Structure 1
Amino acid sequence: MTAEGSEDWKKNLQAPVKDNRKKTEDVQSRRNVNFEDYCLRRELLMGIFEKGFEKPSPIQEEAIPVALTGKDVLARAKNGTGKTASFVIPVLEKVRTDVAAIQALLMVPTRELALQTAQVTKELGKHISGLEVMVTTGGTTLRDDIMRLMNPVHILVCTPGRVVDLASKGNAKLDKCAIIVLDEADKLLSPEFTQLMEDTYRFLPQNRQSLLFSATFPVTVKDFADKFMRNPFEINLMEELTLKGVTQYYAFVEERQKIHCLNTLFNKLQINQSIIFCNSVNRVELLAKKITQLGYSCYYIHARMQQQHRNRVFHDFRQGNCRNLVCSDLITRGIDIQAVNVVINFDFPKNSETYLHRIGRSGRFGHLGLAINFVTYDDRYNVYRIEQELDTEIKAIPADIDPELYVA
């Protein structure tokens, strides 16, 4: 880089891209530190500042310096507070591109989250010369992944079933994989994935570093940590469970009134983008059809769709090509679309964990958002129970909602 180019880069560091939207204390720095204070490589700092990051969020302040020392980390933090960067940044700092081997495994429970995590990793690491990031998930051709692994890959972003398949066949060699990250660890360590996660660990070297991140840590996580982690550093930023920037309302309706109520919301609210949740795949498609008939732009996504179609819908919605997305609980975890300022539970969820992850799709990274719940007579006990379990309040929806609560 020329001297002139070097000076340009310094100017960029002094004046990174600003995000002037209101932010809550969930993501405001507590330690008054900067990313430069972590002594990160310059190429990584360039990616961080080009991404628009100004100061570390609380989870980044707690996790990054500990992860950089090589210690195992067990971290609880709210959805939408910067968890992804809190593990991607130390991973990118530690990876050496002159070593042609998989050095980090970033494990997530869903295909959509894998694509998103890989995208963030590539963006933050865009100036690290020779860095190769690969995504591998179920629903894609195994042969293509095998061919790709014939060339160097430094960071593998994956779902559990696929990586075990590739490792057991000898295509994904994990003997030099020094770091494993479990994002949404509570889901990855639920009964459907536990055996796959244990199988994955058997392919890793003994001196690997484990970083586990989640909003909720059930007993299964503790059991796994006791078995596979080495004296992990524990971080808990969950004094309260729900995001401060999300205002929660309920509308008490009969089932047959839901479409009319939704139409009223579309007319009255200032929606940037909305995500509308249903409790079944069939209801997702039926509701999306109804919304389109009402004259509103609408996509839908659920687990029974072909992966290629799911990828296209997710990509186009992230790009802002459509205002509303109807979905099942497929994308409740970790999906970060910052333009989403309204979440609507067309069907009220059955448990507090699902509710927490759903409403966390708005109010991302300290911004403001609305969560509106359609509640029928049959839902009334679930509402009360979820309020108690999350120590939160879901208020009756007013005739007019102040835009200051959810519009930047």
Structure 2
Amino acid sequence: MPKEKTSIDYVLEKASRPHFSGLRSPTATATSTAFSDANGPRQPFVMGVSGGTASGKTTVCDMIIQQLHDHRVVLVNQDSFYLGLTTEELKRVHEYNFDNPDAFDTEQLLGCIEKLKDGQSVQVNASDDIILEGILVFHDQCVRNLMNMKIFVDTDADVRLARRIRQDMVERGRDVSSVLEQYAKFVKPAFDGFVLPSKKYANVIIPRGGENHVAIDLIVQHLQIRGMHTLIRDREISKHDFVFYSDRLIRLVVEHGLGHFPFTEKQVITPTASVYTGVDFAKSCVVFPLFEAYIEKLPKDISERHVLLLDLVLATGSLDGYITILVTEKVSELGNSANHAIELLVQKGVPESHIIFLNLISAPEGIHCVCKRFPSLKIVTSEIDVALNGEFRVIPGMGEFGDRYFGTDD
């Protein structure tokens, strides 16, 4: 979509007309169970993408959408929410500042996003993920509060200006002097005064925009993990799908945990007789689940190893002095608590920094308690839930994992 705002036709086309785009799974429907859980409707994940003009925001959004093959994604452009111009403003349209926050109908934008978050259709069906893109989407606090993730595309000013000149000359037939005049009068002051200061609100900063494939891959992985959580937390999911997506999430957690192990560079010869330079992970490691039978059978050289301590749910960090983490999410005073296991490992000479505690989901209370007592220990989890309820269950949680996994529930 062109971003030049100096022609009357363009202004009339853009003013107060919501625009949406995106890719949606052909099998997805607006009544998908992905939007419900025990506490009511499950809201879509809202991602804000901001940055200066010609920074590569649209490219980043397109790359994210293209990689989210099994997600229903809707892209909302802030440019579609310009306020309508008066007759006098239209006469002096070349002097109108379209890069100022006052040029946008923020109330209409808020209403649109709120409806989409509630699962309502606004020119598009309900979606799993919403991407809100624009130079000033972080400026208004009410808009920011609707976002689950805020991404700032950070591209060098010279690169952005070169792109702007090229776009305006090739796509809009403008000359260099007029592009530079508009840039100096409106674009750069708006970036310095509004866009750049909003960078501080970003959760993720992507240098070089669409060229930064590593950053985009990490963002996509985050969204995919959330998608798998949506599936396994759905009480209507089949046992087969529950096992399949649970295994995928557990594998990701374990792989990330292994990434914390020390490694050295290693070269190998490939079948094509070429040299490949890779890494060799430390072999002095031990992996065991949080059960007494395993804890009491530690290797004699355990103090020289790195340890992966495994359990599914990190629930609460305080119950009669125990850190209680169970296969189910129900708290019980069992002796095979994480506290007991970690204390035993430390007593056996394992440094805290060599212990990596892996969980599928974690409650903030449990994380706080573990880290407070063992500040050098690492915790790897696929998602941090909201809290514990009055029965010490993780909320929203996923129910009795063992029963759901092995099909022993009702």
Task: Identify whether the pair has TM-score above 0.5, normalized to the shorter chain.
Answer: no
Structure showing the higher strand proportion among its residues: 2
TM-score, structure 2 length as denominator?
0.27
Relative contact order, CA 8 A, sep 6+: which one is greater?
Answer: 1
| Bigger CA radius of gyration | 2
